[in-house]
Amino acid sequence: MSKTLFTNLNLFDGVHNKISRNLWMLVNNNTGKIEDFGSDNEPFADKTVNLHGKYIMPGIVNVHTHVSIDPRTPDGDGNADIVTSTVRAVKHLHQLLKSGVTYVRGCGCNHEMLDITLNKLQREGRLTKVPRMVPCGKPMTMTGGHGILFGGGDEVDSPDEMRKAVRTNFANGAKCTKVMATGGVMSVNDNMTQPQLKVPEMKVAVEETHSKGFVVAAHAEANPGIMNAIKAGVDSIEHCFYLTSQEIQMMLNKKIYLTPTLIALWTIIVHGDELPKWELNKALDCMHHGFDSIHRAYKAGIPLTFGTDSGCPYDGFTNSAIEFQLMVDKIGMTNFDALETSRNSAKLLKLKDYGTLQKGKYADFLVLNHDPLQNVKAVQQADKAVYQHGKREY
C-alpha cells in the first residue's frame, strides 16, 4: 500500500475558521484519501512532499457551469457543431481544474449528451486533468424557453412530458436535473419576470429526480418564477436576484440552497460596451437588485453555494476564484463564509467525501502562497498547485 506524506503545511480544512499550522498530512495513494494529520512523529511514507510552509485548502466544488459554450460571445455560440463544442468543453474543463475547481456540476450544454459523455470518459480514465463531474444532460425548459438559445434544452409542456423527459435524461446518464423557472439575461425574447415551467411540471421533475437520489437546480431570477421553484420543492435555486422576505423564509424552512453566480453579472457589467444594449440593461437591473437580495438571504442564514455560471458572456473558466472575492466585496460575507460556499456545494450534491480536508476524505486540495482566511484573493493565485486524490494535476 503506497502512501505520500505532505509535510510543512498550514491547513485550512474547510470546516473550522482557523489555520492549523506546521502540520503533516498522510495520503493513501491507492484510495486517494487522507489517512491522518499530525504535527510531530512523522509516519513512514513511500514519498514525501515538502510544502515549505504553504497553505492548503479544499479543492473548489463549483455547482454551476456550462463548459461547452463560448464566453467570448454575447450568446455563447450555442449553435456550434458538436466537434467545436467538444473541443472547447475539454479546454474549459482543463482551465477549471487549473483554476482550483476539482468538482463541477454541469447546468446545461449545447449538445444533450456532451457533458454526460465527458463524465463517462473521465470516470474511465480516458479524459484526464479535468474536474470530476455531475452532468445534467438536457436542461428542462418550456417550448421556446430559456436555454433553447444554447441548443441544449428539452422542451416540455406538461407534467407527463416532464416525467418522460427526466426519465430519458437519467437513462442517458444524467446525474442531476436543471429546470428553467424563468427567462434570463441572455434570452432576447423573454425577461426574468416571465414564469416559464410551472409548479406542476417542476414538481414532477423533483419527484423523478429525488427517486434517483439526485438533486434539482432551478434557474429562477425573479418572480413569480422563484416562488414557483420554491413551491415545487427544488434543491437549489440559481441566481435568485429578486428575492422577497417571504421567499427567504420559505427557502429556510425547506432547506433550499441558493447559488448566487455573482461573477456572471460582474463580467457582463465590466464588458458592457461589448454586449447588446438589451442584454446589458437586464444585467444592470439584476445587479442592483441581486446584490441586495443575496445579502439578505445570507444574513437570514440561507446556505449559499459556489457557482460561477462559467460560459456566460466574458465569464471565463480561468477566473472561478473571483466569485469568493465578489461574495466578500458585494455581499458582505466574511472570508470564511465565502470559502464555506464550496463546502455547501459538496453538501448539496451529496458528495460526502469531498469539500473538506479531514481524515477519510479525498485529498482534493490547493496549495497557496498566502492564507485564504486572511484574504480570499489568495485563491486567485495563477500558479497554485492543484491536487486530486493526492496526485498533483497542475
The answer to whether residues 138 and 165 belong to one domain is: yes
pLDDT < 70: residue spans in the chain = 149-152
Q: Residues 6 or more apart from 82 whose CB is under 8 A from it? A: 111, 114
| pTM, 2 dp | 0.96
Q: Residues 6 or more apart from 43 whose CB is under 8 A from it? A: 3, 5, 24, 26, 36
List C-alpha distances in Å: 156 to 11, 79, 163, 180, 194: 48, 20, 9, 11, 17
The answer to whether residues 211 and 272 belong to one domain is: yes
- The DSSP call for residue 135 is -
List C-alpha distances in Å: 363 to 25, 33, 56, 266: 10, 5, 11, 32
The answer to whether residues 54 and 66 belong to one domain is: no
Give kind and range of the element (H or E) at residue 55: strand 47-58
Query: Cα 352 to chain center, whole Å?
Result: 16
Q: Residues 6 or more apart from 164 whose CB is under 8 A from it? A: 156
The pLDDT of residue 149 = 63
Dig out the grid coordinates for 164 from the structure. 418522460
Q: At 388, phi and psi to the nearest 5?
A: -125, 125
The answer to whether residues 337 and 374 belong to one domain is: no
CA–CA distance, 46 with 28 (Å, rounded to integer): 10
The pLDDT of residue 336 = 98
The answer to whether residues 82 and 207 belong to one domain is: yes
The pLDDT of residue 281 = 83
What is the domain range of residue 197? 60-348
The answer to whether residues 378 and 230 belong to one domain is: no
CA–CA distance, 147 with 343 (Å, rounded to integer): 28
For residues 54 and 368, the answer to whether their CB atoms sit within 8 Å is: yes
Tell which of 348, 367, 384 closes a domain. 348
The answer to whether residues 48 and 165 belong to one domain is: no
The answer to whether residues 104 and 45 belong to one domain is: no
The answer to whether residues 38 and 142 belong to one domain is: no
Domains of the chain: total = 2
Q: Coil, helix or strand for 280?
A: helix
The answer to whether residues 195 and 308 belong to one domain is: yes
For residues 32 and 363, the answer to whether their CB atoms sit within 8 Å is: yes
The answer to whether residues 365 and 275 belong to one domain is: no
Dig out the grid coordinates for 37 from the structure. 494529520
CATH number (domain holding residue 247): 3.20.20.140
CATH number (domain holding residue 53): 2.30.40.10
The pLDDT of residue 151 = 63
Q: Which amino acid, residue 347?
A: K
The pLDDT of residue 63 = 98
The answer to whether residues 42 and 114 belong to one domain is: no
Please give, one letter per residue, the 3-state secondary structure of 286-338.
HHHHHHHHHHHHHHHCCCECCCCCECECCCCCCCCCHHHHHHHHHHCCCHHHH
